[in-house]
Amino acid sequence: MNKADVQSTLLGWIIPLAICFSVLLRRKKGLRQRLFVLFAGNVTLYYFFTFLYIWRGEPWYERIALGVAILIPQGGLRFFRAFSTGARGMGRLGGVSAVLGLILTAAVLYPSSLRPAVGPAVMAYVGGFMLVAILNLNVQVKTATTRVDAARIRYLVVGGFLTLSFQVVDRLDHIFKLEIPPFGLAMTIIYLYVISQAIVRHRILDLYEMLGRFAVLSLMGVALAAIYTGLVFWAGAGFSINAFLASLVILIMFDPLRELVERKISDFFFRERRILEQEIAQMRRHLMHVIDIEVMTDRLIDGFENSRRITHASLYLVDAHGRGFDLKGSAGPAPELKRIEAAAANRHIKSSNPSGAILAVHLQERREHLLQQGDRDIAQSIGESIEFLKELQADAVLTIEGDDHLLGLLSLKDERLKDPFSPEDIALLKGLTVQIATGFEGSRIYQQIKERDRLAALGKMAAGLAHEIRNPLGSLKGAAQVIGDTAQSSGGIRDGELLGVIVEEVDRLNRVVSDFLTYARPGHGQPRMVNVNDILRRTLQLFETSREGPMHIVVDLAEDLPGCKVDGEQLHQVFLNLILNAQQAMAHQPTQRIDVTTRTRVMRLEGTDKDSPAKPVHYVEMRFSDNGPGIDLKTLENIFIPFFTTKEKGSGLGLAICQRIVRDAGGEIEVRSQPGQGTIFTVILPGVKNTDIEIAS
């Protein structure tokens, strides 16, 4: 019995067994993972029975090992086919391998006189069909959908050739007794580990990461072996108790020791990645306490510049109206685009990869694949997205997501590398974008609170100023009226007319001040349960008696409306204002029409927990629609802003007052309009079903 052979074959089945279990213990196991376990399991069983044969010398162990070896190509062919092209049948190749496998299995079970020839035949069968599997895998490089898949397949092909070559060397060593170390066994273990990482992480490990991982495993193995050796063998008697103590020590020390070794190896092999992780961690900690957009942007740009991994970085954040994204800051050369329209962002970014990250190299690979398939329309669209990323000077663009809308874009580039960002890097950066989104939302809320407080203080000051203006206006009006009466009685007609103008303008200023005080006054009126149909009928009756010119009013009021708790006089003021606005908007229309409708809108709100049923909530909707010239987009954005008006003698407070009244009642006022297509104002108030309603007089 060769002790070295026993030890090497012991490692040959223990380590692959651990690799199999590492894949089996993962929650999500697809076809590739299951076929890999089958393939690696066959290799594990082969080395296990080989180990038993070398250790015990029983011929049946060798026969079982050869029988298991015959199964290795069956698992290998299926796994490599599924790894490259998905779940497809083996076809003629699988049939040939199965027939030859059955013949060899019968030969293995035949009397021992044929055994000297059976062993080499089985090894030739295994090596030949595994070579075919690897060559078939190499063909798939040209049809890989992405560069990452192509790289994985290419590396696995090279690794497969090396493993088969070293296995041949191991067989020659057994035949000619050359005493060569078991390189084939070592390469098989490494190869299985690389494959397991490729299917679990969905990417191939680069050379530095491979060396780093093996260094971690090796140092951990040495450290744990030293602990076991010291406690089990150096401690003297009591193997069981010493083994138990050694196991406890290893379990206690495993996590901190692994973290220490991984940190040291990472600092040695992946210094730039380590710096990037540290910078992102610092940025995230800093952003937790930042609510100023400029400070947040400066910190992000400084962090990217210090990371040594990013040569270009640009941060775009959504504007106040949500129609585009403005450049807030950049590291490295500034991008050509200072603003990205929302439509362009949705077309090039969100539609290309809804997961929140898009890589230029992936777009390029996808475009080439589509061109090969002849799908030129989609390929052209992707080509436009590639050009868009070039304008951004970006290798990767990550979306900054709010609860239900896009808040911004983070574009990054490392001009030193063609494909600088791994999936792990993207996952790390996406965690940063979540923090950016939180900080940006917090900043907007803070700015809204500041603006609200500023407007509240300004409103108090303006209300006081309005009172101070109103008192002199009353005095001016009274004095002008007295002088006007005197001038007219003395025959000064011209002076009387001028003083009449003064009185008229004073009245207009007084109305403006009164409207302003109405808007600024925090009072909510006297809310009570009312029927909005009755208030609307009274408003229309009043309007009919005072209107001038032809106008067709179509009324469609729904019956059995819920009651609304609102001040009836204030709601009457809202209705009258909307109708008068519609009349003035249609002043130059040949036909003038206003449609007034009411209806009940029912919405269902989910309960506070999953067991609570959805509850219906009733709203009353009042709609005023005209066939006027419509409102342009710029005006539509400002119509509810105090003192904004398009009328020659308007105060610009009518709609602002209407909005405040409706919102004080817990409702909302909406407007829809397009130039040339009329305007629709909709008042929505919360309703109460089956309630005694006090009819507003």
Q: Shortest CA distance to 594 belongs to which of 633, 627, 635, 638?
A: 627
Phi-psi category of residue 678: left, alpha or beta, with phi > 0 → left and psi -120 to 50 → alpha: left
Would you state the structure tokens that stand for residue 500, as one six-digit string? 């009449």
Please say whether the beta carbons of 32 and 82 come within 8 A.
yes
pLDDT value at position 139?
78
CA 440 to chain centre: 15
- Cβ burial of 645 (10 Å; 0-12, 13-18, 19+) is middle
Q: What's the pLDDT score for residue 231? A: 63
Contacts of 377 (CB under 8 A, 6+ apart): none
At residue 211, the 3 state secondary structure works out as helix
CB distance 623 to 597 below 8 Å: yes
CA distance 575 to 583: 12
Strand 339-341 with 406-413, pairing? unpaired
The most confident of the ranges 352-356, 480-484, 675-679 is 675-679
So what CATH class is 3-202?
mainly alpha
Segment 598-603 shows an average pLDDT of: 85
Q: What per-residue confidence (pLDDT) applies to 533?
A: 92
| CATH architecture for the domain at 274-447 | 2-Layer Sandwich (3.30)
pLDDT value at position 238? Answer: 54
Strand partners, 341: 324
Question: What does the DSSP 8-state code read for residue 55?
Answer: H
Does residue 605 carry a pLDDT above 70?
no
Better pLDDT: 421 or 76: 76
214, 269 contact by CB (below 8 A): no
C-alpha dihedral, 105 to 106 to 108 to 112, nearest 10°: 180
What would be the CATH architecture of the domain defined by 528-686? Answer: 2-Layer Sandwich (3.30)
232-236, 288-292, 425-429: segment of lowest average pLDDT = 232-236
In 508-577, at which residue ranges do the beta strands (DSSP E only) sit? 528-530, 552-557, 564-566
Q: What is this structure's pTM?
A: 0.46
268: confidence class by pLDDT, cuts 50, 70, 90? low
Q: Is the pLDDT of residue 403 over 60?
A: yes
Residue 346 in this model has a pLDDT that exceeds 60: yes
Q: What is the per-residue pLDDT for 696?
A: 42
> Token pair for residue 44?
């594990």
Nearest to residue 461, comparing CAs of 449, 450, 473, 453?
453
Residue 151, pLDDT > 70, answer: no
Where residue 693 falls among pLDDT bands split at 50, 70, 90?
very low
**160 contacts 191 by C-beta, under 8 angstroms:** yes
Q: Mean pLDDT, to the nearest integer, of 666-692?
A: 83
Single-letter amino acid code for the residue at 20: C
Rounded mean pLDDT, 377-398: 85
Q: What is the mean pLDDT of the chain?
A: 77
pLDDT, tens only, 550-588:
788 899 999 888 899 998 888 998 999 899 888 888 888
3-state class (DSSP) for residue 60 = helix
Residue 282 above 50 pLDDT?
yes
Q: With 70 as the cut, is the pLDDT of residue 134 above it?
A: yes
Task: Establish how many alpha carbons lie within 13 A of residue 535's alpha carbon, considering only the half-sphere containing its beta carbon.
Answer: 26
Given CA atoms 434, 439, 442, 444 in this order, what sign does their dihedral have? negative
What residue segments make up the domains of the chain, in order of their start? Answer: 3-202, 206-269, 274-447, 452-520, 528-686
Phi and psi at 187, nearest 5°, equal -65, -35
Please report the pLDDT score of residue 497 as a whole number. Answer: 65
pLDDT bin (cut points 50, 70, 90) of residue 688 is confident
H or E segment and range at residue 118: helix 115-139
Q: Enumerate residues 6+ apart whose C-beta is below 8 A from 577.
A: 654, 655, 657, 658
Residue 531 DSSP symbol: -
Q: Which of 12-26, 166-180, 475-489, 528-542 has the lowest mean pLDDT?
A: 475-489
Q: How far apart are CA 440 and CA 319, in angstroms?
A: 12
Q: How many CB atoms lie within 10 A of CB 12?
A: 24
Take residue 96 and report the two structure tokens written for it. 């040939």
Mean pLDDT, residues 511-527 taken together: 64
Three-state DSSP at 146 gives: coil
Q: Is the predicted pLDDT of residue 531 greater than 60, yes or no?
A: yes
- pLDDT, position 349: 72
Helical packing angle, 147-176 and 183-201, nearest 10°: 160
**With 80 as the cut, is the pLDDT of residue 459 above it?**
no
Cα–Cα separations (whole angstroms), residue 680 to 64, 301, 596, 623, 627:
84, 46, 10, 7, 9
Scanning 315-359, the segments in alpha helix (DSSP H) are: 342-345
User: Within 10 Å of residue 467's Cβ, how many Cβ atoms?
Assistant: 11
Pairwise pLDDT comparison (508 vs 669), residue with the higher score = 669
Name the band, by pLDDT with cuts 50, 70 and 90, for residue 692: very low
Q: What count of residues does the chain have?
A: 697
pLDDT confidence of residue 376: 82
Asked which of 150-159, 430-439, 582-591, 624-633 is least confident by mean pLDDT, the reply is 150-159
Q: Look up residue 208 and give its amino acid.
A: Y
